[in-house]
Amino acid sequence: MNDINRGTNQKNPTKKSKNVDSILEKQKLDELHRTSLEKQDYKTILIVDDEPDITYTLKLALENNNERYKVHTYNNPITLLAEFKPNYYDLLLVDINMPFMNGFELCKKILELDLNVKICFMSTGEVNLYALRDVYPKIGMGCFVKKPIKVKNLIKMVEAELD
């Protein structure tokens, strides 16, 4: 998986401004250029949860004042599977209790498509992580999002997982 290529070629096509005469526009272009360079380092995170208000909140929490994360969200695991792009995401935050297909089943299918993706499960209940690790060796030990979670803690957890 090549982060730089992915970042530039797939997710962030270079934008061009037609008005280059004014200083303001130039400044903006500079700014854009600068951020686009920085964005080569950003990480792409996928959040899957059947509650739209939760995906909305977590996306905002991760993207808020933080240029390093680009967050995609899905509320239906079936739709996600149909549209899933292998080798595209750096981290998956997957809710365990979902209708149609639970988080475990979903990840089993995703791991068939993308062996390298990191996964953090999310749940409102208690989950035995050690038992989970036997089934999903890719799961980070410290990475389990117990909902509700403070924004600060969520960011810390995601940072730790991506480092």
Partner 1 sequence: MSPQNTTAGEGGGDYKKLDTSLTRVFYGEEATNKSLEVFSNIKDKFDACGDPISPSVCMGFEPLKRAYLDLKRRGIKIRFITEITSFNLHYCKELLNIVTELRHLDGIMGNFGICDGNEYLAVARIKEDQAVPQLIYCNVREVIDQQQYIFESFWNRAISAELKITEIEEGIILGTTEVLQDAQITKEAFVDMIKSAEKEVLLLCPTANAFLREQRMGIIDRLIQAATTRATGVNVRIIAPTSSILDSTIDQIKNMKCNNFNIQRIDYTEFVGTAVTTVTILVVDRKSSLVIEKIDDSKENFVEAIGLATFSTSNPTVASYVTIFESLWNQVKVYEQLKINDKMRKDFINVAAHELRTPIVPILGLSEILYSRILKDSTHSMDRDEMKLNANRYLEMLDTVIRNANRLGRLTEDILDVTKIESQALRLKKERFDLDDIIVNTIQEFKVQVKDMNSGSRRREIIYESLGSDNKDRSVFIDADKSRISQVLWNLVSNAIKFTEEGGKINIKLDLLNHQVKFAEGAAEIISKGIERDSDRIFVVTVEDNGPGIDPEVFSKLFKKFVSKSYHGTGLGLFISKSIVEAHGGKIWARNNINGSGGAAFSFTIPVSSNSTNSIQDYQVQTSTRATAGTRITNEGNSL
Binding interface with partner 1 (CB under 8 A): 50-51, 53-54, 56-58, 60-61, 64-65, 97, 99, 124-125, 147-152, 154
Query: Which CB sits closer to partner 1, 61 or 94?
Result: 61
State how far the Cα of 55 lies from the Cα of 75, in Å rounded to an integer. Answer: 8
> Can you give the C-alpha Rg of the chain in angstroms?
18
CB of 5 to partner 1, least distance (A): 32
Query: Which CB sits closer to partner 1, 46 or 117?
Result: 46
Q: Which amino acid is at 144?
A: F
Token pair recorded at residue 16? 């061009």
Query: Which CB sits closer to partner 1, 8 or 57?
Result: 57
Query: Which CB sits closer to partner 1, 64 or 116?
Result: 64
CB of 28 to partner 1, least distance (A): 14
State how far the Cα of 123 lies from the Cα of 98, in Å rounded to an integer. Answer: 10
Ramachandran category for residue 43: left, alpha or beta (phi over 0 → left; psi -120 to 50 → alpha): beta
CB of 49 to partner 1, least distance (A): 9
CB of 85 to partner 1, least distance (A): 26
Residue 90 near residue 162 (C-beta atoms within 8 A): yes
